[in-house]
A and B are shown apart, each in its own frame.
Chain A
Amino acid sequence: MNFLNKDITSIHQSLVNGDITVEQLTKEAIENSKNNEKNINAFITIDEENAIKRAQEIDKRGINPDNLLSGIPVAMKDNMLTKDVLTSAGSKMLSNFKPIISGTAVNKMLDADTVSIGKTNMDEFAMGSSTETSYYGKTHNPWNLDKVPGGSSGGSAASVAAGDVLAALGSDTGGSIRQPAAFNGIVGMKPTYGRVSRWGLIAFASSFDQIGPLTNNVYDNALVLNHIAGHDEHDLTSSDKEVPDFTSNIDSGVKGMKIGLPKEYLGEGVSDDVREAIKSAADKYREMGADVEEVSLPHSKYGVTAYYIIAPSEASSNLQRFDGIRYGYRSENAKNLDQLYVKSRSEGFGDEVKRRIMLGTYSLSAGFFDAYFKKAAEVRTLITKDFQNVFQNYDLILTPTAPTPAFGLDENKDPLTMYMNDVLTIPVNMAGLPGMSLPAGFSDGLPIGMQLIGKPFDETTMYKAAYAFEKNTDFHKQTPKIGGDK
């Protein structure tokens, strides 16, 4: 069985009715995923044994008719700690690492009785926009196997798009949930910073990182966020704000909603097809009764630059812990302790990770701190203030998710060109805002994503607007050819 065009509610109904057991569902999901792996490579680990054991346990207890997630097959990005299951973060450095605990978001998915069938492929330590920097091979886009799935949560997005699972968790530091969601024609939510605990998420840039769901549709996405959101005493940056039911009143429409369309996000570098799709989306919102007006976010254009100073700085600090001593890869060529550090890191990290560690080390080094790191942090304030100004008069902001649809595998883009791919998503992380991507069109058979940006902790309004758009369009109903006929 594949889950193309399926939704959690209908699969849940089959489980409640007894049309299928959780064990059968899990086995079929694993079989379908294994078939797809030859073409897609969405997973680093398919955890067949644990998944089936878990499914049997849930069957024994019985499906809870009030819990839509009970028995639903899901997948986790490989930078989220999973007890006793390889957690590599896409790196050779952690190619032998089996955590002794699971992270909070993973635990909450387990508490909700979902069945995780495996760990998904990703750019090494989540550093990349194409999943090409993984130590475990590249992931292919289910819509066109010669294209990238985006990144860094490329495996999570591809696993949902290919119908392997009904939901996957990803993480987003500069666009790593939203851009792959866009490239794969699915729904991806990066919640407000602090909405979901980061405990047990292998840190990349701690002031940006946030976990969120990738799903086939908007309702399923809200459902998963319901379960993973909330305060966690283990993550001091997690918010103690109340978590609303994101699915309640999701169908209340957009009448009277005020949506800002920032002109800077439709300019140079954005492809014609993408621009047209976003303009059509704006018209669709007007048709549905929302007010859509042009707004300005003048400092967003400095987002990429400020990000590539701040995020690598945080990363260079976070990744100091990988030293070959307590866990992870240890070089066999070291004769003394210093060599052990240097050789383990030099052999264990890939090029992109080294680039970012060096960028960060440079930006933080004496003599450059004020000129680079502090300056970038000040620009970050201005980017945030732009959003605050717009949100005084608007409920939501509408932009493209990425400047283009999925680009080709092995195009060997230089790093700077690759970094520019996140120009439309990075400002959202800079300001800690919630941002989501949902299907908004096609270009040469490849999906186009649109981004909705909300006020802090107002994912509810985003889901309502996304739900209304989805209900009045059919982009999300189209599925890739891979994995069977539509």
Chain B
Amino acid sequence: MSEKISKNTVSHVASLAKLELTDKQLPYFTDQLGNIMGIFDSLNEVDTTDVEPTFSVTDQINVMREDIADNWGERDQLLQNAPDVADGLIRTPTIIDESGD
């Protein structure tokens, strides 16, 4: 895993993250991400045998509440932030476009 990341991998990661990179951006990001990931391997110096991972530092675990539906009655205000609205619904482009990619 110490090999520098390839353009293909960066391209793949970008598509997983729903990002597209231009031909100019791809080498730029590949280079930068490679440098950053270059330090990741230093963690191998650390012996973590039998060490539990920490994913959260809170002591609040499994906080429960009653499952009650609550209508905030703010649909119209919420829709004011939507980029495209029709008949009280959010409008998007066609989901499947045969002519697209």
Residue of A207, A342, A345, A354 near B55 (CB, 8 A) is A207
What is the size, in residues, of chain B's interface with A at 8 Å between Cβ atoms?
57
A307 shortest CB reach to chain B, Å: 11
Contact of A378 with B53 at beta-carbon distance under 8 Å, contacts A339-B93, A354-B29 already known: yes
Cα A334 to Cα B97 with chains together (Å): 11
Cα A326 to Cα B84 with chains together (Å): 8
Cα A57 to Cα B54 with chains together (Å): 47
In the bound complex, do residue A415 and residue B81 qualify as a contact, i.e. CB atoms below 8 Å apart? no
Contact of A358 with B97 at beta-carbon distance under 8 Å, contacts A325-B90, A419-B36 already known: no
A25 shortest CB reach to chain B, Å: 32
In the bound complex, do residue A365 and residue B13 qualify as a contact, i.e. CB atoms below 8 Å apart? yes
Interface centre among B20, B93, B96 (most CB of A within 10 A): B93
Contact of A415 with B32 at beta-carbon distance under 8 Å, contacts A100-B78, A335-B93, A337-B92 already known: yes
Cα A305 to Cα B9 with chains together (Å): 21
* Chain A contacts for B21, CB-based, 8 A: 346
Interface pick from A32-40, A172-180, A369-377: A369-377
In the bound complex, do residue B90 and residue A326 qualify as a contact, i.e. CB atoms below 8 Å apart? yes
Whether a CB of chain B sits under 8 angstroms from the CB of A105 is no
Q: Which residue of B lies closest to A378 (CB)?
A: B48
Cα A340 to Cα B96 with chains together (Å): 12
B82 shortest CB reach to chain A, Å: 6
In the bound complex, do residue A361 and residue B16 qualify as a contact, i.e. CB atoms below 8 Å apart? yes
In the bound complex, do residue A375 and residue B82 qualify as a contact, i.e. CB atoms below 8 Å apart? no
Whether a CB of chain A sits under 8 angstroms from the CB of B80 is yes
Interface residues of A in 413-460 (CB under 8 A from B): 414-416, 419, 430-432
Whether a CB of chain A sits under 8 angstroms from the CB of B70 is no
* Chain A contacts for B53, CB-based, 8 A: 374, 377-378, 380-381
Contact of A377 with B83 at beta-carbon distance under 8 Å, contacts A335-B97, A339-B93, A358-B33 already known: no
Contact of A362 with B33 at beta-carbon distance under 8 Å, contacts A237-B56, A376-B43 already known: yes
Whether a CB of chain B sits under 8 angstroms from the CB of A20 is no
Cα A326 to Cα B43 with chains together (Å): 40
Q: Which residue of B lies closest to A309 (CB)?
A: B40
Residue of B33, B83, B93, B97 near A359 (CB, 8 A) is B33
Residue of B57, B78, B82 near A193 (CB, 8 A) is B57
* Chain B contacts for A341, CB-based, 8 A: 18
In the bound complex, do residue A342 and residue B57 qualify as a contact, i.e. CB atoms below 8 Å apart? no
Whether a CB of chain A sits under 8 angstroms from the CB of B100 is yes
Cα A384 to Cα B51 with chains together (Å): 12
- The 8 A CB mask of A320-360 against B (1 = contact, 0 = none) is 10011111111000111111111101100100001101110
* Chain B contacts for A372, CB-based, 8 A: 40
Cα A342 to Cα B17 with chains together (Å): 8
Q: Which residue of B lies closest to A371 (CB)?
A: B1
Cα A362 to Cα B29 with chains together (Å): 13
B53 shortest CB reach to chain A, Å: 3
Whether a CB of chain B sits under 8 angstroms from the CB of A382 is yes
Interface residues of B in 53-86 (CB under 8 A from A): 53-60, 63, 65, 74, 77-78, 80-84
Contact of A100 with B51 at beta-carbon distance under 8 Å, contacts A342-B20, A382-B46 already known: no
A93 shortest CB reach to chain B, Å: 12
- The 8 A CB mask of A299-321 against B (1 = contact, 0 = none) is 10010111011000000100010
B11 shortest CB reach to chain A, Å: 10
Cα A362 to Cα B37 with chains together (Å): 10
In the bound complex, do residue B17 and residue A316 qualify as a contact, i.e. CB atoms below 8 Å apart? yes
Cα A289 to Cα B82 with chains together (Å): 60
- Could you list some 18 contacts between A and B, CB below 8 A? A98-B80, A98-B81, A207-B55, A302-B42, A306-B43, A308-B36, A324-B83, A325-B90, A339-B101, A355-B32, A355-B36, A358-B17, A376-B43, A377-B55, A378-B48, A382-B48, A414-B35, A416-B38
A contact set with B: CB distance below 8 Å: 96-100, 193-194, 207, 233, 236-240, 299, 302, 304-306, 308-309, 316, 320, 323-330, 334-343, 345-346, 349, 354-355, 357-359, 361-362, 365, 368, 371-372, 374-382, 384, 414-416, 419, 430-432
Top 9 closest pairs, chain A to chain B, by CB: A432-B57, A377-B53, A336-B97, A330-B83, A327-B81, A378-B48, A237-B58, A380-B54, A100-B77
For the A-B complex with A346-B21, A357-B17 known, give 13 more contacts whose Cβ atoms are closer than 8 Å.
Answer: A99-B81, A207-B56, A302-B45, A302-B46, A305-B40, A308-B36, A338-B18, A345-B19, A362-B33, A372-B40, A377-B54, A378-B54, A415-B35
